[in-house]
Amino acid sequence: MNSTLLLLIGFAVLVLLLLVWVLRDPRKSAKPDGDLDSTDELSQRHVGYFPQVRQALAVEDFAFLSSRGSPQLARRMRRERKKIALAYLSCLRGDFLKLWRLARVIASMSPQVGVAQEFARLRLGVAFSLRYEMIRIEFLFGLAPIPELGSLSDVVSRLSIRLETAMNNLGERAALAAKLASSLDDGHGLDTR
């Protein structure tokens, strides 16, 4: 069997696998951190915990405790604080994903969608995921540069404020459109004939 035929069979099998994945109920595979149902959850972002995380990972703090305690305690502290940093980075990613999905919702509700904009966002999302994974792996082997992590939090925070404003605008417009439609259904609408 030559390579073209193998490629064709491989393609068909890939399409079948994709079909199963695409037609699966998205709610079943949705991760809890990516759920957009609750608006309360959206307002509870993790970026606000940055000062506490910075405090926990401060070099001076660590040096002070190491000089006073035993080496065992220092090792334990380092391990636990690394866990905290990793958890924080993971939460930042959760925030990013929520906002990114919100951006897709805005696009899906728009009557006109720009291919370039959508493609650029898809590319950025993929790049973010890849870099996040690389940084996470590096976090596992060394200490995090805290100032950079802080500016990362700022970007997520700014993005979330913009999106929340946009979603509020959309909600108001949708309510207005529904109100207008219901008043037309009541027979009080304009006669356009």
Partner 1 sequence: MSRFPLPVLWLWACSVLAQLLVMALLFLKGSSRKLPYFTAYVGLNICQAGFLVFVYSHLWSQPAAADTLAWTSEFPTLVAQALATVEILEITLRPYQGIWGLGWRALTVTSGIVVLLVILAARGHWGSARWFQLDRGYHLTFASALIACLLLVRYYSIPVPPAYKMMLGGFCFYSCTEIVVNTLLQAYFRKDFFLHAAAWQLLTMSSFVIALVVWATALRKPLPVEDRQAASPSDDDYLRLSPQINEDLRRLNEKLLRLWKLEASQQ
CB 89 within 8 A of CB 81: no
Site pattern 28..67 for partner 1 (x: CB under 8 A): ----------------------------------------
Site for partner 1 in 83-122 (CB under 8 A): 96, 100-101, 103-115, 117-118, 120-122
Instruction: Point out which span in 40-48, 56-64, 75-83, 139-147 binds partner 1 (CB under 8 A).
Output: 139-147
Question: Nearest 5°: phi and psi at 18?
Answer: -65, -40
* 179 makes contact with partner 1 (CB under 8 A): no
By CB atoms closer than 10 A (0-12, 13-18, 19+), residue 133 is exposed
Instruction: Point out which span in 7-15, 45-53, 56-64, 75-83 binds partner 1 (CB under 8 A).
Output: 7-15
Instruction: Point out which span in 53-61, 68-76, 133-141, 184-192 binds partner 1 (CB under 8 A).
Output: 133-141
* 148 makes contact with partner 1 (CB under 8 A): yes
- What is the DSSP code (8-state) at residue 187? I
CB 144 within 8 A of CB 85: yes
Our CB check for partner 1 shows the closer of 73 and 174 to be 174
Output the CA torsion sign for 143, 144, 145, 146.
negative
Neighbours of 99 (CB within 10 A): 19
